[in-house]
Amino acid sequence: MSSETPTVGVLALQGDVREHLAALTSGGARAVPVRRERELDDVDGLVLPGGESTTIDRLLRTFELREPLRERIAQGLPVYGSCAGMILLADRVLDGAPDQRTLGGLDITVRRNAFGRQVVSWEEDLPVEGVTGDGARVRAVFIRAPWVEEAGEDVRVLARVGSGPAAGRIVAVRSGDLLATSFHPEITGDDRVHRYFVELVRQRLRGREHEERRV
């Protein structure tokens, strides 16, 4: 554990794992895949990647990771969920599969596949609070993406769609050390969202180190 180079895992059961590992490395973390509970124990933060939320949910149970991960989230593990990862972090899901379960932690209601089928996936340049500034924007790639229908009082909205039929829809949120985006920054070559998350992990570690020194 190092607050300067934190170890950040990527849940490696399904989805765009390799792209997140590369973006985290570029963003200043030691990036590792996580498939087992013992690997989860060794990380300072975790990314839940895009993919198929129902498949990841099923694999979490198969690999006996669901309950350990829920426990770590409840204990304050910093987690970033992109696309399917946002669904997994949401407390409530609309249009989910009948037996679909989430990890929870974010007081949001998400609509699964809100942007439509994969053939109508699209892109837009968006300002993202805390990530961009001075008029800069992030290229947001939406692939069968969810959006946030409702966000709780303690959830900060970081980005909304700026144009088109989905204008105004919430697509990036943060609550404490939990971060989620509807879009896929890992596939654009832009590591700013991952740098933002890595800094959240660093701040969490620095706070822990400070408490340990006081004791």
- Give the start-to-end residue ranges of the domains of the chain: 7-214
Structure tokens at 213: 């020194």
Confidence (pLDDT) at 2: 64
| Distance (Å, whole) CA 60 – CA 141 | 26
**Domain topology for 7-214:** Rossmann fold (3.40.50)
Is the per-residue pLDDT at 102 higher than 60?
yes
What pTM was computed for the model? Answer: 0.93
| Distance (Å, whole) CA 35 – CA 212 | 29
Over residues 101-127, mean pLDDT: 85
Interval 40-77: pLDDT, tens: 999 999 999 998 899 999 999 999 999 999 999 999 99
Q: What mean pLDDT is reported for the chain? A: 91
Return the sign of the alpha-carbon dihedral for residues 87, 91, 93, 98: positive
Over residues 7-26, mean pLDDT: 96
Long-range contacts of 121-125 (CB under 8 A, 24+ apart): 121/145, 122/164, 124/161, 124/162, 124/163, 124/164
Count of residues for the chain? 215
Is the per-residue pLDDT at 201 higher than 60?
yes
Query: Using 50, 70 and 90 to split pLDDT, how confident is the model at 200?
Result: very high
Asked if residue 39 lies in contact with residue 32, where contact means CB atoms within 8 angstroms, the answer is: yes
| 3-state DSSP percent of the chain in helix, strand and coil, to 5 | 30, 25, 40
Is the per-residue pLDDT at 97 higher than 70?
yes
**Residues 6 or more apart in contact with residue 207 via CB below 8 angstroms:** none
Confidence (pLDDT) at 211: 65
Query: Using 50, 70 and 90 to split pLDDT, how confident is the model at 119?
Result: very low
Is the per-residue pLDDT at 21 higher than 70?
yes
Q: Which of 53, 172, 198 is nearest to 108 (CA)?
A: 172
Query: Using 50, 70 and 90 to split pLDDT, how confident is the model at 207?
Result: confident
Q: Which residues of 147-172 are buried (b: 16+ CB within 10 A; e: fewer)?
A: bbbebeeebeebbbbbeeebeebbbb
| Distance (Å, whole) CA 62 – CA 163 | 40
Q: Which of 20, 3, 1 is nearest to 201 (CA)?
A: 3
More confident residue, 134 or 175: 175
Helix (H, G, I), strand (E, B) or coil at 38: helix
Which residues does the annotation mark as catalytic?
83, 184, 186
Interval 141-188: pLDDT, tens: 998 899 999 999 999 999 999 988 889 999 999 999 999 999 999 999
